[in-house]
Amino acid sequence: MSKLFFFFVLFYGMVFGQVNPQLKVSGIEGSYIPQGFDSNDNVQMVVEGVFKDTCSKPGPAQFAVNQATKTVEVLTTEYRYAGPCLDVLVPHDTVVNLGVLGQGTYRVMQKNGRQLGSLVVQQALRATADDYLYAPVSQVYLKNSGAQVSVTLSGSFSNSCMSMAQVLTRVQGNVIVVQPLAHYNKEASACANVLVPFEKTVIINGVRPGRYLLHIRSLNGNSVNNLYNIR
């Protein structure tokens, strides 16, 4: 074997032989569990962690629900690449879609047994997808000044007879829940399926400094989830 061919094989193995990353278990530094879900909702929570360098990327979150013990076990993963790696911390977060859960109070646990929090699921009273008609929020902007937080929601209604009715807000521990309620004018004589942009800003007072999940409900069971540091 010639030296040139030898170095080509070595180079190929280094560059192309380790392209596929390894899937590994990753740690959870913080968890955010919104309350107010019903037994016909897609229940969601958010977990976050910090990678030690740039060679890791978030992998799929896994979970197991035990209805008998009312326990949810969550396991987060990461894709680990060969490198080279930059020695910098990389924060990351993952939305965990738990799907439809039965009524009850659940203990949310990390796979290693550490409790992350509790989750209350109420019995659904209607067969509709949501208790409310939510606005289709696509973008969110948060700004805070002291204990006052302003949240700006924007998106586009898909029908000319839809409009924003009111926005409900609640602070639940380390979660700020925002419910943008829409109105459909059934009395209108002509409704057109056209895009109608909207923007709405709401003020939330009395928010203590800390790290929060901003959880905004949206149309058709969707939601927007962003993490913010409130100072």
Residue 9 inside a domain? The answer is no
**Considering its fold, how many domains does the chain have in total?**
2
31 and 117 share a domain? Answer: yes
> Same structural domain for residues 81 and 152?
no
Give the rounded distance of the alpha carbon of 43 from its chain centre.
11
Q: Where a domain ends, among 122, 149, 176? A: 122
Q: Which domain holds residue 90?
A: 22-122
- Regarding whether 116 and 34 lie in a shared domain, the answer is yes
Instruction: Decide if 132 contacts 179 (C-beta within 8 A).
Output: yes
In DSSP terms, 51 is beta-bridged to 90
What does the DSSP 8-state code read for residue 205? Answer: -
pLDDT of residue 18: 56
Residue 99, H or E segment = strand 90-99
Strand residue runs (E) in 100-209:
104-110, 115-122, 137-145, 148-157, 162-172, 175-184, 196-204
The verdict on 116 and 186 lying in the same domain is: no
Strand order in the sheet with 175-184: 162-172, 175-184, 210-217, 223-230
Q: Please identify which residue in the block is written with the tokens 């029908």.
A: 159
Last residue of a domain, one of 122, 151, 172: 122
226 occurs within a structural domain: yes
Q: First-to-last CA distance in the chain?
A: 65
Chain centre to alpha carbon of residue 20: 27
**Rounded to whole angstroms, how far apart are CA atoms 119 and 70?**
10
Instruction: Give me the tens of pLDDT residue by residue for the chain, a chain 231 residues long.
Output: 444 434 443 444 455 555 789 999 999 999 999 998 999 889 999 999 999 999 999 999 999 999 999 999 999 999 999 989 999 999 999 999 999 999 999 999 998 889 999 999 999 887 776 778 999 999 999 999 878 899 999 999 999 999 999 999 999 999 999 999 999 998 877 899 999 999 999 999 989 999 999 999 999 788 999 999 998
Per-residue pLDDT at 10: 41
